[in-house]
Amino acid sequence: MKKPYKQPVSVLVVMYTRRGEVLLLRRKSPADFWQSVTGSLEWGETPWQAAHRGLEQETGVPDGSSFLTGTT
């Protein structure tokens, strides 16, 4: 059964290199805003699953498991 509202929990995925470079995504609207990969949890989804889904949806990386190392 689909819930009528979003679950009020979200994830933040911070991708970075060993040199300290951080991936930021430029928003379409407003175009002068930048953000990390984020997403709201879907009902029945774990934060880890939401992070994988968000990474794929927002960057096109099909399997984020090699990039995702942990949660806090």
pTM of the model: 0.74
Give the integer Cα–Cα distance in Å for 13 and 54. Answer: 8
Pure H helices in 1-72? 47-59
Please report, in tens digits, the pLDDT of each residue of the chain (72 residues total).
Answer: 667 788 889 999 888 888 989 889 998 888 899 999 998 999 999 988 898 898 889 888 876 556 666 655
Q: Which pLDDT belongs to residue 26?
A: 92
Structure-block tokens of residue 2:
């689909």
Structure-block tokens of residue 46:
């774990």
Q: Which pLDDT belongs to residue 7?
A: 84
Q: Which pLDDT belongs to residue 41?
A: 93
